[in-house]
């Protein structure tokens, strides 16, 4: 019995980072640069795939212009479902998925600063590796991330193991020996 409880406790603790990441992505809001795919099963004329521009407005059949920046995937699904239900379809089966996340950017003391394709599970260390690695003068403690939180731009102090989100701007400062 004690062994079973210990195994269960280990599983819960070990899976917490995955759970925390899935919670983050359930709250993920769409932004410019994301590519979304909208599928209405059995209705090819209502399905589309598009990259969101800076304005974040898509022109959707029968519903017109929809501002999708700031919406979650689930929120967009519900909006389209409610808009099509009744007048056009009896019970539409709507699916919205993210085909490609917007890029993240890394500046400062990395060998190849710039924008890179986001990958789930990305940490600052992994982002720096994608950018060619840290330079010799890179500080491992003076790391800042510019991120939009609740619609506002914030600068967060970070460590090398912090999760990177799409659209983040990572700044690696210089270290003074």
pLDDT (0 to 100) of residue 177: 63
pLDDT (0 to 100) of residue 26: 57
Is the model's pTM score more than 0.85? Answer: no
What mean pLDDT do residues 85-103 have? 91
3-class DSSP state of 51 = strand
Q: Poorest-confidence range of 19-28, 75-84, 133-142?
A: 19-28
What mean pLDDT do residues 112-140 have? 95
Query: For residue 32, is it left (φ>0), alpha (ψ between -120 and 50) or beta?
Result: beta
Pairing of strands 169-174, 138-149: antiparallel
Per-residue model confidence as pLDDT tens digits over 12-69 = 344 434 333 333 445 788 998 999 999 999 999 999 999 999 998 999 998 999 999 9
pLDDT (0 to 100) of residue 87: 73
pLDDT (0 to 100) of residue 4: 42
Alpha helices in 27-123 (DSSP H): 73-84
Q: All domains of the chain, ordered by start, with CATH?
A: 1-101 (3.30.1950.10), 104-174 (3.10.560.10)
């Amino acid at each position: 019995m004690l062994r079973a409880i210990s195994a269960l406790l280990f599983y819960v603790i070990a899976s917490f980072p995955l759970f925390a990441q899935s919670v983050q992505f359930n709250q993920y809001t769409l932004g410019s640069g994301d590519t979304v795919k909208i599928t209405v099963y059995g209705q090819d004329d209502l399905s589309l795939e598009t990259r969101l521009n800076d304005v974040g407005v898509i022109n959707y059949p029968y519903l017109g212009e929809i501002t999708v920046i700031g919406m979650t995937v689930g929120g967009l699904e519900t909006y389209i479902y409610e808009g099509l239900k009744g007048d056009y379809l009896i019970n539409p089966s709507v699916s919205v998925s993210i085909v490609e996340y917007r890029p993240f950017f890394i500046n400062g003391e990395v060998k190849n600063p710039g924008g890179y394709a986001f990958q789930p599970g990305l940490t600052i260390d992994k982002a720096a590796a994608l950018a060619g690695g840290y330079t010799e003068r890179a500080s491992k403690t003076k790391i800042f991330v510019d991120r939009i939180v609740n619609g506002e731009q914030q600068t967060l102090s970070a460590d090398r193991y912090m999760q990177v989100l799409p659209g983040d701007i990572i700044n690696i400062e210089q270290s003074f020996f």
